[in-house]
Structure 1
Amino acid sequence: MTARIRPLRLEAFEQLPKHARRCVYWEVDPSTLGTEDHLSDPEFEKEAWLSMVMLEWGSCGQLALECRDQPGETGDEPCLGYAFYAPPRSVPRAGRFPTGPVSADAVLLTSLGVDAGPGHEDLSHALITAVVGDLVRRGVRALEAFGRTAAVDELGDVADVPPDVRPVVEVLGDCATSTCVVPSDLLLDAGFVVVSHHTYFPRLRLELEQGLGWKAGVEAALERLLESAQLQQPVGAGASPCS
């Protein structure tokens, strides 16, 4: 199965998987809701956040879409994966991590989700590659992320976790640190390095000057699964992105 990766446009919001549309783990600070433990319309909150970031800063997401036989986009291609990223000032949850703050010269990679189906194993790296490519073109110096270690799976109820971790594991709706925070091992495999150590939630960094070489290496490794033209040729540049 082939896939193409393109920047997220607001009109493609409905193509995101249900959890990605409803997840507001990074976008809403639970402490701002008082005694409420839920949102009446999380999809509205997520779409509003995307709209705000796109208006004020620019592209903040990448989509991996299944390629079909017909040329061009139809708007209903299955979404195989997604990545969200933004300046840390636009990410309320970033201020709650014990390994913060995010470096002043970095953009924060918040969410990364991939369909677990066969043939999709390398889409996580392909999505990070697309994020890196976008940020390099925009002159960003580094990409950082808060990672989740395997030790998180051993945490109990919120009331029993260490005090510095409690603000991280407080969630809304169907969000959870096990699905909304990128695994540290995945980030390390992608070339990130730990810049602030923590048992549960380290902060990792990818220097984008190094990322140029890393990007080329990942794309070469993906040639068996993804046509390089699908990752590099923008939609509307001539041939169909899935041809």
Structure 2
Amino acid sequence: MSINVTSLTLDGLDKLSAHARRCVFWEMDPAAIKGARGFCDQEFEKEAWLSMVMLEWGSCGQVAVVDGKPVGSALYAPPRTVPRAQLLPTGPVGADAILLTSIWLEPGAEQQDLGSTLIQAVVADLVRRGVRALEAFGIRDINGDRSLDTQSGGVAPTRAVRECSPEECMIPATLLEDNGFEVVAPHPRFPRLRLELNRDHGWKEDVEAALERLLKTASVSLVDIGERTPVGAP
């Protein structure tokens, strides 16, 4: 099985799940959605929002493809472009942070820990772009029901048709915590979590260790070459 994660592009919106293409939970003011109920083309509104963010800021999503089939996605954007972020009780998002809004996984994908893989891809993109922090509004089940979580602490899988709601469209706080996020604004239901991108993480230590092994190997090779007897020497 080959997993490939790439940045979302305007001509690649078909790689999003059916729910992700029409969900405007984060992208539209709830009052506007309610007022336009029955008259709002949610897929059109979502595409318009994605186009606006990409033109003003750049790619705002990561898409996971397994053996040529899209299996998951993550969306993120500057908080000022996300109306719902202004309404949650643990806002506002830090001025130096980008907001991770949502992660969707196709059925079965959660077993491959693709939620974590998508978060790592988001982090890599933002580090490259010089962003200092990544924040997200997590969701907890205050009744202790962990049905929102998967065996890997991930996201509930997508279904062909489902209604937008906090349970469907927000990221489980456990997934965020499992990937290094820390709570900066506690709340029994909707905590806000933050990941500092200028902090050393485990994946960075792995890269540094691999580089160190490579340098040691190169040093040994150079020593061996220097100690060899020149050709033709007595």
2:126 to 125, 135, 140: 135
1:213 aligns with 2:201: yes
Report 1:65-84 matches (<5 A): 65-67=65-67, 77-84=68-75
The corresponding residue for 2:46 is: 46
Instruction: Give the distance between the partners of 1:91 and 1:119, measured in 2 at CA.
Output: 26
Q: CA deviation at 1:37?
A: 3.3
Q: CA deviation at 1:8?
A: 0.4
Q: CA deviation at 1:38?
A: 4.6
1:20 aligns with 2:8: no
State the AA in 1 paired with 2:58. G
Structure 2: gaps spanning 5 or more residues: 146-161, 208-234
Structure-2 change in CA distance of 1:99 and 1:218 (3 Å): farther
Q: CA deviation at 1:15?
A: 1.9
4+ long deviations beyond 2 Å: 32-40, 118-121, 212-219
Deviation string 1:45-90 (CA, Å, 9 cap, x unpaired) is 11110000000001100000112xxxxxxxxx32111000000000
Instruction: Give the distance between the partners of 1:4 and 1:15, measured in 2 at CA.
Output: 12
Instruction: Give the distance between the partners of 1:15 and 1:48, measured in 2 at CA.
Output: 16
Identical positions, percent: 52
State the AA in 2 paired with 1:49. W
Q: Judge conservation of contact 1:125–1:218 (CA < 8 Å) in 2.
A: no
Q: CA deviation at 1:182?
A: 0.2
Structure-2 change in CA distance of 1:21 and 1:33 (3 Å): closer
Q: CA deviation at 1:151?
A: 1.6
2:100 to 109, 113, 128: 109
Instruction: Give the distance between the partners of 1:186 and 1:132, measured in 2 at CA.
Output: 15
Q: CA deviation at 1:140?
A: 0.4
The corresponding residue for 2:174 is: 185
TM-score (norm 2): 0.76
Instruction: Give the distance between the partners of 1:2 and 1:34, measured in 2 at CA.
Output: 42
Instruction: Give the distance between the partners of 2:112 and 2:54, measured in 1 at CA.
Output: 29
Q: CA deviation at 1:120?
A: 3.9
State the AA in 1 paired with 2:165. A
Structure 1: gaps spanning 5 or more residues: 68-76, 155-172, 220-243
Instruction: Give the distance between the partners of 2:76 and 2:178, measured in 1 at CA.
Output: 19
Q: Judge conservation of contact 1:129–1:218 (CA < 8 Å) in 2.
A: no
Deviates more, 1:42-51 or 1:28-37: 28-37
State the AA in 2 paired with 1:6. T
Q: Judge conservation of contact 2:90–2:190 (CA < 8 Å) in 1.
A: yes
Deviation string 1:16-58 (CA, Å, 9 cap, x unpaired) is 1100101100000121356333553111111110000000001
Q: CA deviation at 1:152?
A: 7.2
Q: CA deviation at 1:216?
A: 3.9
Q: Judge conservation of contact 1:114–1:120 (CA < 8 Å) in 2.
A: no
Instruction: Give the distance between the partners of 2:188 and 2:90, measured in 1 at CA.
Output: 10
Q: CA deviation at 1:174?
A: 1.8
1:198 aligns with 2:187: yes
What is the number of residues matched between the two proteins? Answer: 192
